[in-house]
């Protein structure tokens, strides 16, 4: 039973408050039908179009393009400002940037400031569209980690937005989205397409993660366990998982609200009356291999490629050890902004300082003592406390003229 519980509670990496119905079954079936534009963005009054990008290894990713609600109501109005790509974190997808009100959500705020907003969705999430040959039921469909998300998914999305808009792009990433970015930015040809980047809860090292709950899962080798059990897809919206989740959340021995805090750190500022709404969208699936790669980072304290073991590494990389992503090689010419929180138990301050020491450039920093891991996307005050700083930073870095609304 411990194993089963362990499998399920990983889902709480995102949200869990004491709720008897963690997921809304009705909404779940709707999600499978609709697009992110139709589901969440257009209903708020924002023009939005859907795009599909194919990665080198055959995954079909959904991208949404969003522009200002003040554009006169033309559903297909073309945005005029500089492009910005938003890259979500683990167990999330592009909806993460639109979960609060128009005045509180970064996706809407950037659009209203005249940005040409592009919303990334990695492979395996609800808003990406499968694979050219593989089915989600195939084991091989889930044979990837954040390494592929960085070098294939993010690289392809950046390239697509860059060539579609014919402009260097701004980038905003959260959590795993920053792991992907820092890995991708070690490639000069990717940096060449990026104007500036803002990283929320930046992660390249996880050796000092302080989340007791995650450390327990690492200690019990949940990652190896899952793979040994033949579970390659982590999908907490399957009927089976939903039933177990519901029973766990009902279990008086398991305080779900404390559990959230023990995973992400104490989030000061998100709107508790919106939890049900958040759960209509989160969590999104990821692969067990990705979880294993993240756990390898925690165990070894390194920012390295996936470790296949001695022989596997020799075959894959020609070395016994997996190659590291060299943060020191990220071009000094790339302007970086970073926001981190004192109560974030996933992106630990000590690990963050390590990343900072490695970087050749000197990023602009924002430290918020009371912020936990989720506050950077869900805080009711994120606009004033975080996003206004990012917009100012982008405004000062842009090579193109910005609209007067800056």
- The nearer residue to ligand NAG, 7 or 96, going by C-beta atoms, is 96
Residue 273 annotated among the catalytic residues of the structure = no
Residue 276 annotated among the catalytic residues of the structure = no
User: Smallest distance, Å, CB 255 to ligand NAG?
Assistant: 19
The C-alpha angle with vertex 23 and arms to 17 and 26, in degrees rounded to 5, equals 150
Using DSSP, state whether 143 is helix, strand or coil: coil
Is residue 49 involved in binding ligand NAG (CB under 6 A)?
no
Question: Dmax of the chain from CA atoms?
Answer: 60
Structural contact between residues 271 and 378, judged by C-beta atoms closer than 8 angstroms: yes
| Residue of 116, 153, 223, 344 marked active site | 344
User: Smallest distance, Å, CB 263 to ligand NAG?
Assistant: 15
Site for ligand NAG in 90-109 (CB under 6 A): 101
Is residue 380 involved in binding ligand NAG (CB under 6 A)?
yes
Give the whole-angstrom CA distance, residue 226 versus residue 230: 6
Beta strands in 305-399 (DSSP E): 336-341, 364-368
Is residue 316 involved in binding ligand NAG (CB under 6 A)?
no
Name the nearest CA neighbour of 345 among 296, 406, 383, 298. Answer: 298
| C-beta atoms surrounding 223 within 10 Å | 22
- The nearer residue to ligand NAG, 105 or 296, going by C-beta atoms, is 105
Binding ligand NAG (rule: CB under 6 A), the pick from 159, 164, 210, 271 is 271
Is residue 27 involved in binding ligand NAG (CB under 6 A)?
no
User: Smallest distance, Å, CB 108 to ligand NAG?
Assistant: 13
User: Smallest distance, Å, CB 103 to ligand NAG?
Assistant: 8
User: Smallest distance, Å, CB 343 to ligand NAG?
Assistant: 4
Is residue 264 involved in binding ligand NAG (CB under 6 A)?
no
| Residue of 105, 145, 167, 175 marked active site | 175
CA 121 to chain centre: 9
Is residue 269 involved in binding ligand NAG (CB under 6 A)?
no
CA 257 vs CA 209, 247, 272, 346, 373: distances in Å: 20, 15, 11, 17, 15
Which range in 160-168, 197-205, 211-219, 266-274 contacts ligand NAG by CB under 6 A? 266-274
Is residue 273 involved in binding ligand NAG (CB under 6 A)?
yes
Is residue 331 involved in binding ligand NAG (CB under 6 A)?
no
- Both tokens of 17, joined, read 């408050």
Pure H helices in 198-238: 212-219, 222-228
Specify the residue for token string 């005045």: 103
Phi-psi category of 208—alpha, beta or left, where left has phi over 0 and alpha has psi -120 to 50? alpha
CA 370 vs CA 178, 248, 266, 274, 342: distances in Å: 21, 29, 8, 20, 6
Residue 175 annotated among the catalytic residues of the structure = yes
The C-alpha angle with vertex 122 and arms to 328 and 214, in degrees rounded to 5, equals 70
- The nearer residue to ligand NAG, 104 or 288, going by C-beta atoms, is 104
Which range in 4-12, 203-211, 233-241, 268-276 contacts ligand NAG by CB under 6 A? 268-276
Which range in 45-53, 119-127, 248-256, 265-273 contacts ligand NAG by CB under 6 A? 265-273
Specify the residue for token string 């009371």: 370
Contacts of 170 (CB under 8 A, 6+ apart): 82, 83, 84, 85, 115, 194, 195, 196, 197, 198, 394, 397, 398
| Residue of 262, 373, 375, 379 marked active site | 373
Site for ligand NAG in 345-374 (CB under 6 A): 369-370
Taking CB atoms, the residue at the shortest distance from ligand NAG is: 342
Is residue 208 involved in binding ligand NAG (CB under 6 A)?
no
Question: Which residues are at the interface with ligand NAG (CB under 6 A)?
Answer: 101, 266, 268, 271, 273-274, 342-343, 369-370, 380
Residues labelled catalytic: 175, 344, 373
């Amino acid at each position: 039973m411990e194993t089963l519980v362990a499998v399920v509670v990983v889902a709480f990496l995102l949200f869990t408050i004491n709720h008897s119905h963690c997921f809304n079954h009705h909404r779940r079936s709707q999600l499978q039908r609709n697009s992110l534009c139709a589901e969440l963005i257009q209903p708020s009054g924002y023009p939005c179009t859907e795009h599909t990008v194919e990665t080198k290894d055959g995954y079909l990713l959904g991208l949404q393009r969003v522009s200002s609600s003040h554009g006169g109501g033309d559903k297909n109005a073309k945005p005029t400002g500089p492009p910005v790509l938003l890259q979500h974190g683990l167990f999330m997808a592009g909806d993460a940037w639109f979960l609060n009100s128009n005045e509180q959500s970064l996706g809407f705020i950037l659009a209203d400031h005249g940005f040409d907003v592009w919303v990334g969705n990695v492979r395996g999430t609800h808003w990406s569209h499968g694979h050219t040959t593989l089915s989600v039921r195939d084991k091989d469909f889930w044979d990837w980690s954040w390494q592929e998300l960085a070098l294939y998914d993010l690289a392809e999305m950046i390239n697509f937005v860059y060539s579609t808009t014919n402009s260097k792009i701004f980038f905003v990433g959260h959590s795993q989205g920053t792991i992907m970015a820092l890995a991708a930015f070690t490639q000069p040809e990717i940096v060449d397409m990026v104007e500036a980047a803002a990283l929320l809860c930046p992660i390249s090292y996880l050796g000092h993660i302080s989340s007791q709950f995650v450390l327990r899962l690492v200690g019990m080798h949940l990652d190896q366990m899952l793979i040994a059990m033949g579970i390659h897809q982590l999908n907490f919206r399957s009927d089976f998982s939903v039933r177990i989740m519901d029973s766990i959340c009902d279990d008086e021995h398991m305080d779900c609200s404390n559990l959230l805090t023990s995973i992400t750190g104490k989030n000061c500022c998100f709107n508790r009356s919106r939890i049900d709404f958040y759960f209509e969208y989160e969590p999104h699936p990821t692969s067990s291999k990705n979880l294993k790669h993240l756990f390898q980072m925690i165990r070894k304290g390194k920012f390295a490629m996936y470790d296949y073991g001695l022989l596997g590494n020799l075959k894959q990389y020609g070395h016994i050890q997996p190659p590291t992503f060299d943060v020191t090689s990220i071009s000094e010419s790339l302007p970086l902004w970073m926001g981190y929180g004192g109560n974030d138990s996933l992106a630990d301050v000590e690990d963050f300082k390590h990343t900072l020491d490695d970087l050749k450039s000197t990023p602009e920093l924002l430290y918020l003592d009371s912020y936990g891991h989720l506050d950077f996307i869900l805080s009711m005050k994120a606009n004033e406390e975080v996003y206004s700083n990012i917009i100012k930073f982008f405004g000062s870095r842009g090579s193109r003229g910005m609209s007067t609304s800056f």
